[in-house]
Amino acid sequence: MAGLDAAQQHIWNITEPVLFQSGVAMRPGQPPWFLGAMGKTKVVSKNISALALITEEASRNLARQLNLSPRDVTFGLTKVDVRGTLAQALCPYKTGRFAPPCSAERFRRYDGYCNNLQNPYWGSANLRYLRFLPPNYADGISSIRADSRGRPLPSARTVSASMFLDQDRPHDHASMMTVAWGKFVFHDMAHTAQSAGFEGSRIKCCDVAEGFEHPECMPIDIAAQDPYYGRFGQRCLEYVRSSAAPRETCGLGPREQNNQVTSFLDGSTIYGSSEAEAKFLRAFEAGQLLSQRTPAGEELPPADLATLDCRRSAQDPPCFSSGDPRVNADLGLALMHSVWLREHNRVARSLQGLNPQWDDERTFQEARRIVGAEMQFITYNEFLPALLGPEVVERFGLRLENQGYFRGYDARRLPGVTNVMAAAGTWALTSASPAQVELFDPARFQRLGSLPETAFRPQELYSRLKQIAAGALMQHAQKMDNFFSRHVTQDMFASSNRAIPVIHNGTGTTMEHICKKRKVLRTQVTKLIKECLERLDRLTQSDASVLHARLMSLHAELNAVNSRFEEILDDDQAETEYEQIFEYNDRIVTVLAKLQQCISNPTGNPPTTQHENNAAQATTTSKIRLKLPRLELTRFSGRRHDWQPFWEVFEQVVDKNEELSSVDKFHYLRASVTGDAAAALAGLPPTARCYSDAVELLKKRFGNEELLIQEHMKKLIDIQPVRSSDDVRGLRRLYDTLAAHIKGLETLGQKHDSYSSLLMPIVQRALPTDILLDYSRQCLIATTSSSDEDEESTTDDASESSNETKK
């Protein structure tokens, strides 16, 4: 293992300094820089990761020598005894007589050590995250995940673009203050470090010359046809691996990730997770934290003039400093830090007034103790019931005692934060963020800016803190679901996507959970359809309405789950999956139509005359018996270039069919769309009024003529050349492709003259060389013949003119 230590020292002392001096490092102000700010690496994390990387390489060498399978590595290497090795000598987690002493004290330590007297390190800062399931690395140690057959998984960007769509889905009762509190609490318990380079520099992974790649780089590939980044020619997204963490025994096994803060809800986001951080933030006077006052008298966190982790011009006031480096990430977080700084100082002033004999240290620690308890009380008494619902809170014993104190402390229970929670928790809260940030002043909402415009720009708090706080209380959050504002998935950091790293790091089991969820949903759908069909003949109008609403809800959920992975299916799986999806859609739509008929014509209506009965029967027959041939309806998955042919058929067969009601048309529309298009309609109920809304929504999103023209032109530009004139199939395919896009442009009102100058070079580039030469030769011959004929005609005309003159 000494040789491995030397190899790691070579990376630290030679490789990283050379990369840094060569300019291969992220520059402040670049979009990925701010994403890296969310995982800013502390010095102690950098030092701890060195040992983790040594044991990781030792595990890899041992697995190679012993020909261990990934399963053997995951479940076997962790049991290897490393006592007496370099790993144990360098291990920062000392046990037995080497462990720092613990004693029962009134105040918590900043780093969480000794919170559990029997297991002092449990829950402390700079420990690895816990796991519900073993990691799923391709080699069992640290290499990026692969599929079940060992093949590379789709790019995380491809998955993100397919799964995370943009829809406005306001929450019924949660406000943006709820989201801000969720992030504040999450940051108090989890902070994943991003691997850092020389002297803490941020590693650059894209556009790096061969031989200058940092070993912790794992850049994300972008497809040339990416719907957003493809327009800019960007083919790579920056991604640096999370900092590695050793096990408590510093033993061998798969790579783990480091949590830089305590796992306890203890106010570390206010005070920091080390004594040094706390000293930097304290005023050392009357138990106060450092703060600053605005000209209007508002108390705010202290200014941080040195930070590069915020957007600030020369004219802007400085950003803020606090116990967590993510304080400036968004206005909601900065607001929370300001509120709790004020609360600490308010409590400290009250305690000092009641206990003037207390010194600064006692006052500070007592105030810190009270503030931590306040945070815990608000979280368990108000936040969790609002987030999870009272039933879940009750089921898992999260409700506070009505009287007295909690008596269920168990020193044997490990209090760490789980890896999957740290990886996905904050992004789940990000999905609840609306596209625009609003303030409230006075008695009206005012747009402050979009998420990208306000990210890492907290300076608005200097002048409009009360208005921002009122806006956070009044503005509705979004529902916590699959849907992210495009500002998050595309624009937030211009060349980064906040949803992508969660997918790329592969620490969770997302796709497995999706498959399980779909299985449960399909079972529920089958049961509900069976119930509907069994009760159909005796349903009342109210019963039919309830069943219709239940089935619609399950249908929307099932469509959302299907859309999350159908765009990234393997080719050999796609046909089977689509057949199952279409089968379930057909069954659901059929039963929904029957339920709708029951709602419109319920049993138990007053008797009608024979004439009315015959008329109603004729009308009903025309509605029920009319069933469109399935072959006449094409399906639309959300690919923009497929919209035009799909809509032309659907418009003629369904939309303009006067025999169909708007509700029926809506059912046919739902049955005809999949993927992104289905997800776009998932939240609309199948009512007559919503059918026109659904059509307008699809036209606006997929039928924009300017975008369709751009799509056709891009397809023409990207057309694949044919290399040989003997490739008859390739030439036929080239002709068909050109004809299709030219016809499409013509349908959109684009005349040949408007793009012919661009089309000719495209065609010439796509043709084989011999055909192109032959074409050029024919053009030259035709031009020469035309010139000879013109010259001969001119000579004849001149001769005739001369003869006339002589006459």
Q: What are the distances in angstroms from CA 321 to CA 269, 289, 324, 328, 577?
A: 11, 11, 8, 8, 52
Tokens standing for 364? 């500070």
- Return the number of other C-beta atoms located less than 10 Å from residue 755's C-beta: 17
Give the Cα separation of 423 and 39 in Å (integer): 11
Q: Six-digit token pair at 759?
A: 């089309």
How distant is the alpha carbon of residue 469 from its chain centre?
26
Per the CB < 8 A criterion, the answer to whether 448 and 437 are in contact is yes
Please give the Cα distance from 562 to 527 (Å, whole number): 19
Q: How far is CA 505 from CA 207, 402, 431, in A?
A: 21, 42, 19
| CB-based contact 371:270 (threshold 8 Å) | yes
Q: For residue 438, list its beta bridge partners.
A: 447
Ramachandran region, residue 199 (left: φ > 0; alpha: ψ -120 to 50; beta: rest): left
DSSP letter for each residue of 74-87: HHHGGG---TTSHH
How many Cβ atoms from other residues are within 10 Å of residue 473's Cβ? Answer: 13
> What phi and psi, each to the nearest 5 degrees, are found at residue 332?
-65, -40
> How many residues belong to the chain?
807
Question: Is 381:400 a contact under the CB 8 Å cutoff?
Answer: yes
Annotated active-site residue in 10, 171, 173, 187: 187
DSSP string covering 26-39: PPTTSHHHHHHHTT
Q: Where are the beta strands (DSSP E) in 553-611?
A: none
Residue 416: what residue type?
G
* Tokens coding 624: 């029920």
Give the number of other Cβ atoms within 10 Å of residue 500's Cβ.
24
Helix (H, G, I), strand (E, B), or coil: what is residue 240? strand
Can you tell me whether residue 727 is helix, strand or coil? Answer: coil
Give catalytic status of residue 173 as yes or no: no
Residues with catalytic function: 187
